[in-house]
Every structure is written in structure tokens, then in C-alpha cells.
A and B are shown apart, each in its own frame.
Chain A
Amino acid sequence: MSKTSNINRVDGFAKVTGSATYSAEYKTPGVAYACLVGSTIAKGRIKSIDTKKAEWAPGVLAVITHLNVDKPAGYEQPKKRDNLGQPLQIFKDDTIRYYDQPIALVVADTFERMQYAASLIKAEYLKEEHTTQLEKVRDNGKTPERAKDYNRGIENGYKNAEVVLEEEYTIPTEVHNPMELANIIAKWNGNKPILYTKSQGVEGTRKSVGNVFGILPEDVEVHSEYLGGAFGMGLHTWPYEIAALIASKKIARPVKLVLHREQMFTNVGFRPYTIQKMGLGATKDGKLTGLTHEAIAQTSNYEDFTEATVNMSRFMYDCANVSTKYKIVEMDTCTPIWMRGPGEATGSFALESAIDELAHKLNMDPIEFRKRNHAEKDQEQNKPWSSKYLLECYDAGMERIGWKERKNKPASVREGEWLVGYGMGTGTFGSYRNPTTVKAKFLADGSLLLQCSVNDMGPGTATMMTAIGAEITGLPAEKVIIEMGKSGLPKGPTQGGSATTSSVGSAVHDACNLLVSKTLGLATENETFKNTPIADLSFGNGAISSKKDTKKSLSLVSLLSANKLEELAVENESKGSEDAKKYSIYSFSVHFVKVLVNPNLGKIRIAHVVSCADIGTVINQKTSAGQMYGGAVGGIGMGLMESLEIDHRFGRAINNNFADYHVPVNADIEKQEVFFVNKKDPVSNPMGTKGLGETALVGMAPAIANAVFNATGKRVRDLPITLDKIIEAVKV
């Protein structure tokens, strides 16, 4: 990928001028404003709900509760526990399943009138005892159907080792909190719903909305062209979307519903609170002989949410005896949903912290320990890696961070009064490729139009599609037009699991190649190339030319016009090859961190971050680096700041706002560097990419924990690493 490998974001102009249209911003005549009123208990039933005052407030068009809702047809189906089926059946009955669960919707003619009316709704409850504290119910875990126990070699074989480490690691509930609030404009065309909504998967939303209203997915129209971030939050259809559709139907007007920031903490998923037990065993000279990884995570009382928390431990290091267990516990909260890096980010905190701890116990450099246990093949699936440049990532990072300045003995390096620590953590994420259909068209003006229903929530999907389309056709990037993020276009995948470039990029690649062939075929029928075999023709720079007689050339515009064509189109579905199944395909990343810890205050500064990754081919250096920077920043939030605090007496989130739930801001990010190996994977897909978005975060939190240990000698095993947890250890 040459001339397109560093192009600017193709949606950059729209985004810097404010003309990019996010869901709640579609100009919709007659739109009414709605909001949701939440419960003030965590579990029980609604005894009574007084909506009179709200109904009589100025401008109010309707108040909807379980008492007067027109129940969608799909509510008659029993709600499956599968986490991507129907969302919580909002207003179905008087049951309260979590604090701030919507109990009423208010819709009015203006935003201000709606807000005021919502404040007038009062409910009384029959309260039941709730559970929001995982520690208290950690023994109630159940093994989900799709997360079976795993054993290789001797079960819990680590216990027989010369050197043994057993520790427990905890991560709190973290919340995605994209800057754009969850929002929707809902309307109906007869019995067909139309949604302008924050969805990471147009086709997925069509399916689940169809499911709720008892209609076919094809009858659901979804627009989700621009997403102001999502990080996993948009993978589920949420109750607010269904509520807006119910309201719109009732008042026969379009309804705009934007969640409050507070509701973003309680109603649209989160990274689940997870307790992890690690058992590691090694020989005295540093050969890992046993590894056991057990996780207990929260789910809701109405959906079974699972993620791949323990899976990384099965293949990351060369080890004969590996056991993993994964359990979920029902709690009275909203259902979790994958948050960037998802389970792997949680799992890597435990695994990569434990590896660091064991290396310390062995008095070995933690990178040396990892290199001694480098997995030359995937022992879980017993397959060779398709490609693996993890060792290159270690070396590149060591050099850039200045690893040689690190001392194995903690608290032995200082810069002025600051304690200095170096740490690193390894990340990985599977490379997936989902079936995707792309339509590629040459238009009469010589431009290339690429169509697919896939979204772009920020990673630069449209830019990637443009780069690949331009590369294959030889057109300049400015001549490529992308149409995406809405139903009715050829079906694209859900944006998630780092699979978008592999899935959609491949489909663009294939469709554009087919389009070029079709164009050359058409050219052979043209006067200019009569009797020229197709193999002798080439396409580039908007024209067809003969390889043998370079003077012979026919522009695309002339070809289309000669054939009286408005467009020349190819629609094609692409999917993974059988050959790829013989290999284990993973991306790898290593985050290196230099921290400074103030011994008087316990303040932790991330002075330098170097993020290295083996993601196969890098399609676009600029947007890929952006992903990597951003993943590391997300990891800093996970490592040092983010934790949803619950007042367990009420089951209520305390810090449900940006003043109290801290995320990284500009001042938290000092020096950041990114390095990509940028070597093509031979089997993953035609471009040789492996995926980036998730692995960009995986391994960052443990890198920080390991660096803090190196700086202070204090091992923090429960995130986030706030100063109260280290101040005693560093006090002068």
C-alpha cells in the first residue's frame, strides 16, 4: 500500500466543520422530545406511579409506563438470556431489575418542557433485597454454556512447580462513555420503523428491533452513519431505542430521545466487575510449567453476558499444563456489554501482572522471562501461527522506552524526587473475518462509489475502504466515494472485534478487482481495443490502456459514455478462505510504560508510553497510529482512574458523571509513541491485515501496574491504581 498508506481521514472535512450528522442531529420536521425516568430502587416492583402532573404539564404529548404501554408484539415471546437478542423488555411489567431502570417515558413538544414534566413523575415501590456487590456473591457463579472449563495437561499443574505464584486480581465496573450520548430519532412509516440511532451494527439492530416488534429485519430501516464513539456500547440494542419507537408510534410523530450522561452509566452496558484467580508455576530457571486462570464476572439478572476473559491464558505462553474456568454471577444491574479490548483486556491485567510477579520472584527480567516462554505455536488449537512478530515488538519497545535504565529491584531509580518505574504488558486479539457484501461502482464522471452497510464509529473504516479502493483501481483517493452506515446497502458486518478491516477491506478489495475485470471486459468490445485479449489490458489512473501498445488508451468516462452507461457495478460477497482455518491468526501488541511516582503525594504520572504491535499489514499509518494512541489512553483510564462506584445500600451508582468518574484528559497523556511491525500476514485476508482496535488497549493496564511496582515495590492487584493504594508504600 503505497500512495494511499498515509491519507487523511476522508470524513475529516465533515468532522472539523461540524457538518457530520450524528443520530440526534438529523433534521426532522415535527420532532418531539422524549426522555426516560429511572427507578430509584435496584430491585422490586412498582407499587404505584403518579404521572398526572406530568401529563398536565405544558407541551406534554404523552407519558408512557407499564400501565398504558402498547406492548410490542415480540414481548409475547419469552425473553432469551442470550445477550444479543431482545433488549430488556421496557415497560413490560412492574418489575424493577436495576437502579435507574426506565419506568416512564415523557414526550413533549420542546426539550425544556419535556425535562420539566419528567421531574414531576413520582413512583412508589415494593422493595426487595438487591445484590450489586460481586464479592458478596462470588460463590454463586455459574458456568455459561459458551464458556466451558478448559484443561491442557494436568489440571492445576502449576501447584507442582518449583516456584509457585497464587494471586487474585480485581477490576471494577468500567463504563464506555463515548462522548456522544446514546441517542435516537425514531419514527414510523406505517408499520415499518425508521431509526436514526447509535448502532455499531446496522444489520444487528434491524434484527433485534424486528424481533421486538414482530416484524422482519428487512422492514426495519436503520441509519447510523456517524457515531461519536461507542467502544462496544453500540453492540446491543438498548431499551431506550425501543422506548422511543413505542412513543413515536403512540403520538404518531418522530421522537428524539437523548440519554442524560448519568443514564450512560446505568442503562447502556459496561465492562463487568471481574475477580480473577491466577496460579502460575515455573522452574527455577524460568520455564513456565503450569498456568491456571479463573474468572468470576458480573452479569444481569435477565441476560447472560460472557466474554473471553480467560482465553488468552490458553495460548499466550508455551506451557504444558493450563486450566481455565469462567463463571458469571447474576446481579441487579443492567447487562454488561463488551467494552474495548473486552475480556482480553480484563484477562491480560491478571495474566500479565502475574507473569511480572513470577518473573520478579525468579529474579528475572520480565521480558527475558516472556521470551523464554514464547509460544512458537498455538497450543490451544494445536495450529501454527499464521504470522507472529511479537519478539520484534518486545525489542522495538525496549529500545524506545529505554528499558536498559530499568533496574529489576523496585524503587531503585529516581529522577529528582520522583521514583521511576518501567513496566510492560503483552496484548493479543484474534483476527476474525466476517462475510461482507460490497457494491463497487464506476460512475459516469469516472469516480468510484463503494457501498456497504457497515458503520464507522471512529477507527477510520471509510478511510480504509477508500485507501483499498484507490489502491486496487489506481484512482486517486479523492475520486472514491463511500456510502455506508445505513440499511438498504449491501450487508456489512457489525463494527467490533477488530474485524472490520479484515471483513470489509477484503470485500472492497475483491469487489474492486471484479469491477476492474468487468471494465476491461467491456473495453475489449470497444473500437479502441477490438481483438485485444483482456490479459493485455491494464487499468490505472482512470483509464484502460494496452500493455503492449502504450499509446492506446481509453478513459473510463469515455468507455461508460460510449456504452451509454450511468454506472458500471459489481456486487460481491467475500468471506474467509478454508486455508485460513489451518492457522491460528492473532494480532499481538506490547505496551511499554515509564511511570513517575511522587513519594510525598503518591501521585502517578505516565511519563512515556511506547505501544508496539504486530497487526499484519498497516493499511493507513495515520488512522492506525490514532487507534493505537487511543487504545493506550483507554488503558491509562483502566489502569489509573476508571471505576464505577456503587453505594451498595441502594444499589445506586455514585459517580455517574464526568466530574466523579475520571477518564484520561489531555494533561494525563505526556509522551506517546507507536510502532508497527507492518509485515503482511500470509493467510488472514488478501491485504494481510490482522486487526487493531482491541489489541490497542489489551495489555496497557498491566503495563502500568508493573511499572508502578517497579517504581515503588508496591503491587496493586485491584484496579484502578489510585494514590491511596500506594501512598503508604512510598511515603518518605
Chain B
Amino acid sequence: MAAKKSIKKVVEEDSNNSRRDFIKKSGLFTALAFTPPSLVMASDKKWDEKIAEYLETVPLSLEVNGVKHNLNIEPRTTLLDLLREQLLLTGTKKGCDHGQCGACTVHVNGTRILSCLSLASMQQNAQVTTIEGLSKGKKLHPMQEAFIKNDGFQCGYCTPGQIMSGIACIKEGHANSRDEIREYMSGNICRCGAYHNIVDAITEVKEGGMPL
């Protein structure tokens, strides 16, 4: 885990001044105002960073694209930041962090959600599918094929979210007409304005009746 490693690196680089450092690094714990003397002693023995890290993290088990992960994460971490910054699955995009743009759409237990509005710690035992989990090597998912064929994107940044939403849109039964698709795809902003072609792509997949 990249973030974990980087925390440890800091420990090595910054291991003097331990008492101050302990207070600094375990801010969350001190905020609770019950620092036991034993922990202060531990800080003097330069265990502070390890303890701080332990205190600031919660365990999380989840499956991403069929791969099981047992992690210790900060409770503040969103599913989006977990995917992008720690699991290095950068196909899921950050566009606003407020659930207003849809770029971060992933499937959790088969349902489309906005990963920026979901705390990772709430995804205990969840099955997450991201854009990276759709294709099998060079073999693309029908929705991915249809986006290429119908040119359903330009810059490509909203595309993973559009594709994840498009698949869900059909599975939900909300792709029965162009009007219905437009309505149920309106949570995914495309600033390049590829909407016409996005609707073409989803319509084609829906009418093709391919397994999703």
C-alpha cells in the first residue's frame, strides 16, 4: 500500500524530537484527551509513529474487480481516493468530490454509486467494480466497444463514469428510449458535449441485447 509506505518513510526521516512528534502525529488520539502515560513513554522510545498510524486507521476488507484486499485505511478516506491513491486504480476519475459530476461512478454490489461520496470504511466486504474490471485483457465489454464505435467521448475523462453509468442504466431498466436514457444519464457531466454519441452507444448496447 503506497500511502502506508509513505507514512513509514516519514518515520525514518523524521524520528527526532519524539515527544513533540508524538503529539503531532497522533492528533486524533490526543483530541480524545486520554493519552495514557504508557503511550508517552512509547513515544520517547520512538514508537510514536507506529502507534499514531495504528490509531488513525481502521481495517477494511473488500473486493475490487475480483481481487480481495485486506487493508488498514484512514477512516476519512473516500472510496474514490482509496481506489486512485492507494490501489492505484486511476481509471475512476475525480471531477468534483461533491457527487455533482458523476466522473467517479463505480459499481458496488452491482449498483452504480458515486465513489467520492462514499467513505471507504463503509464498504466492508463490498464487491466493487471499476472501469478496469470491465474488460478481459484486450477483450472489451460491449459498452466499451460501443463507446469507441459511436465516439461517445472526446477527452475521455468522464468516460469511465459514463460507461459504468451506462451499463447500470440498462440493468436498471432505464434505457427503453432515448429520452429515458438522457434522463437517467444526466448525473454524468460531459463537458466536451458528447451526449449525442453517448446516447447512441447506450442505445446500441441495449438494442444489441448483449450480456452485461
Query: Chain B contacts of A25 at CB under 8 A?
Result: 84, 90
A60: chain B residues at CB < 8 Å are 24
Q: In the complex the two chains form, is B194's CB within 8 Å of A626's CB?
A: yes
Is A270 interfacial (CB 8 A cutoff)?
no
* B197 / chain A contacts, CB cutoff of 8 Å: 626, 629
Q: B58 an interface residue at 8 Å Cβ cutoff?
A: no
Q: How far is A458 from B130 in the complex, measured between Cα atoms in Å?
A: 22
| 8 Å CB contact of A111 from B81, B103, B185 | B81
Q: A8-B148, A179-B190 are in contact. Are A57 and B154 (CB under 8 A)?
A: no
Interface membership of B171, Cβ < 8 A: no
Query: Given B6, B23, B93, B185, which contacts A109 in the complex, CB threshold below 8 Å?
Result: B6
From A16-24, A569-577, A683-691, the one touching the partner chain is A16-24
A622 CA / B153 CA spacing, docked (Å) = 11
A631 to chain B, nearest CB (A): 7
Partner of B90, one of A18, A59, A61, A179: A18
Point out the residues of chain B lying under 8 angstroms from A20, CB to CB.
156
Binds B, one of A407-415, A423-431, A464-472, A665-673: A665-673
| Interface: B52 (CB within 8 A) | yes
Instruction: Tell me the residues in window 228-243 of chain A with beta carbons closer than 8 Å to chain B beta carbons.
Output: 228-231
What interface size band does chain B fall in?
35 or more
Given A58-B56, A179-B93, CB of A631 within 8 Å of CB of B193? yes
| Contact pick for B91, options A19, A57, A460, A627, CB 8 Å | A19
CB closest chain-B residue, reference A459? B154
Q: Which residue of A lies closest to B145 (CB)?
A: A16
- Is the CB–CB distance between B159 and A15 below 8 Å? yes
Q: Residues of A contacting B168 with CB < 8 Å?
A: none
| Known interface pairs A25-B90, A30-B9, A109-B10; A630-B182 also in contact (CB < 8 Å) | no
Q: Would you call A177 an interface residue if the criterion is a C-beta within 8 Å of the partner chain's C-beta atoms?
A: yes
Cβ-Cβ contact count across A and B, 8 Å cutoff: 208
Judge if A226 is at the interface, Cβ distance under 8 Å: yes
CB of A47 closer than 8 Å to a CB of B: no
- B9 to chain A: which residues have CB within 8 Å? 30, 109
Given A626-B194, A633-B195, A15:B81 Cβ within 8 A: no
B1-42 to A contact mask, C-beta < 8 Å, 1/0: 011001101100000000010011111100000000000000
B2 vs chain A, min Cβ distance (A):
8
Contact of B195 among A29, A229, A669 (CB under 8 A): A669
Q: Of B25, B76, B135, B151, which is within 8 A of A8 by CB?
A: B151
- Residues B96 and A658 in contact, CB atoms below 8 Å apart: yes
Q: List 12 A-B contacts (CB under 8 A).
A: A16-B153, A19-B132, A58-B26, A60-B24, A109-B3, A112-B76, A178-B191, A180-B155, A663-B191, A665-B186, A665-B187, A667-B183
Q: Knowing that A15-B156, A663-B191, A669-B182 touch, tell me 8 more A-B residue pairs with CB under 8 angstroms.
A: A8-B148, A8-B151, A17-B144, A58-B27, A61-B10, A109-B10, A111-B85, A657-B96
Complex A-B, nearest 7 residue pairs according to Cβ-Cβ distance, in ascending order: A18-B91, A228-B157, A633-B193, A15-B156, A458-B155, A630-B193, A458-B154
